[in-house]
């Protein structure tokens, strides 16, 4: 079984859209959003995947979600069938933290590949969890988003040195750092130096859930990326659809 997020109560968040971030920005993709996370970012825009009633981990909205309305368990074969029924042949597995469900994902992705061998498989991860071996063999691309200090996560939970080094050495892994203020840039540079992250696989992205905030932050962040030799990514889905589920 896999534990998924929902668009509406009882409706799993499996949908087709354009990838809004990172190296695959703008590509038609099939998305699966899983529930549960081992971290708790103060600015997380998918808090409905982890901040359930009784969870007091801090979040800027201070909102708790009812688990039964926002979480759904489905058999791996059912998830695979819903994915194959959609047309884009690029699968993006997101969350939450998908790698917490590595064994189930391995079974699901194997079924998808059996039905449609040409699927390109991406996994979006916070970078703190090692991939399950069976799943890792089926993944084409990792979008790794380590959480900086402004996320509110303790560094010993969010920034595990051995994990970051392993991701940096994996040519399938692209790093995406969420940046809120210019002060965050020094932390990105320090992590790049400490773990030998290649600049061509390092993206910086403005934090924000509305177009005005993203545009304001993009001005200085794009300049910083140019100077540092990093790549810049916007949040296309926010500009197109707003901060909504299933997009």
CATH code assigned at 233? 3.20.20.70
pTM for the predicted model, two decimal places: 0.97
Burial 225-243 (b: 16+ CB within 10 A, else e): beeeebbbbbbbbbeeeee
Q: Averaged over 170-182, what is the pLDDT?
A: 98
Total domains present in the chain = 1
Residue 212 lies in a domain: yes
Which helix (H) or strand (E) covers residue 186, if one does? helix 184-195
What tens digit of pLDDT does each residue of 96-121 get? Answer: 999 999 999 999 999 999 999 999 99
Residue 72 lies in a domain: yes
Question: How does the average pLDDT of the chain come out, rounded?
Answer: 97
Chain centroid to Cα 243, Å, comes to: 15
Residue 135 lies in a domain: yes
What tens digit of pLDDT does each residue of 44-88 get? Answer: 999 999 999 999 899 999 899 999 999 999 999 999 999 999 999
Residue 247 lies in a domain: no
Confidence of residue 192 (pLDDT cuts 50, 70, 90): very high
Confidence of residue 178 (pLDDT cuts 50, 70, 90): very high
Residue 83: give the domain boundaries.
2-241
Burial 36-67 (b: 16+ CB within 10 A, else e): bbebbbbbbebbbbbbbeeeeeebeeeeebee
Residue 246 lies in a domain: no
pLDDT in the model for residue 232: 98
Residue 223 lies in a domain: yes
Tokens of residue 60, six digits? 């800027």
Residue 157 lies in a domain: yes
Strand pairing report for 173-179 and 141-144 = parallel
Tokens of residue 3, six digits? 């534990």
Residue 77 lies in a domain: yes
Residues 178/232, Cβ–Cβ less than 8 Å: no
d(CA 184, CA 207): 11
């Amino acid at each position: 079984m896999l534990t998924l997020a929902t668009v509406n109560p009882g409706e799993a968040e499996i949908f087709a859209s354009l990838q809004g971030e990172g190296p695959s920005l703008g590509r038609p993709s099939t998305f699966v959003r899983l529930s549960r996370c081992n971290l708790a970012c103060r600015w997380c825009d998918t808090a409905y995947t982890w901040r359930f009633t009784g969870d007091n981990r801090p979040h800027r909205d201070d909102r708790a979600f009812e688990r039964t309305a926002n979480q759904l368990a489905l058999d791996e074969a059912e998830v695979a069938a819903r994915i194959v029924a959609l047309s884009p042949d690029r699968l993006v597995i997101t969350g939450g933290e998908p790698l917490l469900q590595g064994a189930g994902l391995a079974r699901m992705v194997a079924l998808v590949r059996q039905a449609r061998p040409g699927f390109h498989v991406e996994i979006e991860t916070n970078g703190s969890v090692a991939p399950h071996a069976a799943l890792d063999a089926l993944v084409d691309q990792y979008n790794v988003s380590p959480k900086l200090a402004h996320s509110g996560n303790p560094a010993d939970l969010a920034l595990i040195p051995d994990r970051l080094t392993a991701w940096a050495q994996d040519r399938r892994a692209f790093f995406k750092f969420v940046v809120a203020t210019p002060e965050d840039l020094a932390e990105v540079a320090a992590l790049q130096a400490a773990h030998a992250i290649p600049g061509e696989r390092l993206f910086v992205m403005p934090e924000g859930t509305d177009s005005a905030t993203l545009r304001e932050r993009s001005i200085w962040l794009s300049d910083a990326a140019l100077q540092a030799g990093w790549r810049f990514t916007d949040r296309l889905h926010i500009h197109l659809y707003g901060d909504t589920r299933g997009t």
